[in-house]
């Protein structure tokens, strides 16, 4: 999943750094993710993972790091069927 998150960041985040080298916990806004680019990232994540971020997740903190995005997606993606 993190690989796909970084791919989205690289394609839509307009980061001044290489998204592949961003640490899980690095603050993306401090790295230069603009407010508007975060909207693009949000939409691209929704397309890539086939989900929609619900209202309570529509805050900057949801998109502040790869780990934060991972946590949000983990809540939204269907959990593997339990046997």
Partner 1 sequence: MSALPMTASAAGDAAEPQAALRARLFEAKLLYPLGVTGLYGYSATYQSILDAVDAMVTRWGTSLDAERIYFPPVIARSTFDHTNYLQSFPHLMGSVHIFTGDDREHRALLGRLEAGQDWPALLEPAEVVLSSATCHSLYPLVTGTLPAHGRYYAVRGTCFRHEPSVDPTRMQSFGMHEVVFLGEPADAQAHRDVGLAHGLELLSALGLVMEAVPANDPFFGRLGTALAVGQLEESLKMEGVTTICPGTPPTAIMSANCHRDHFGRPFAITTADGAVAHSSCVAFGVDRIAIALLQAHGLVPERWPADVIGRLWP
**Which residues, 6 or more positions from 21, have their beta carbon under 8 angstroms from its beta carbon?**
none
Q: Under the criterion CB under 8 A, does residue 39 sit at the interface with partner 1?
A: yes
Q: Under the criterion CB under 8 A, does residue 53 sit at the interface with partner 1?
A: yes
CB distance 75 to 69 below 8 Å: no
Per-residue DSSP letter, 15: -
At closest approach, how far in Å is the CB of 31 from partner 1? Answer: 15
Q: Under the criterion CB under 8 A, does residue 35 sit at the interface with partner 1?
A: yes
Q: How far apart are CA 2 and CA 36, in angstroms?
A: 22
Choose which of 8, 12, 19, 38 interacts with partner 1 (CB under 8 A): 38
Q: Residue numbers of the site for partner 1 (CB under 8 A)?
A: 35-36, 38-39, 42, 53, 55, 58-60
């Amino acid at each position: 999943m993190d690989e796909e998150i970084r791919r989205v960041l690289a394609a839509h985040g307009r980061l001044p750094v290489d998204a592949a080298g961003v640490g899980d916990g690095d603050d993306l806004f401090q790295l230069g993710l603009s407010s508007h680019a975060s909207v693009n990232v949000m939409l691209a994540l929704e397309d890539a993972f086939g989900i929609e971020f619900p209202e309570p997740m529509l805050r900057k903190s949801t998109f502040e790091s790869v780990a934060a995005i991972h946590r949000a997606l983990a809540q939204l993606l269907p959990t593997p069927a339990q046997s």
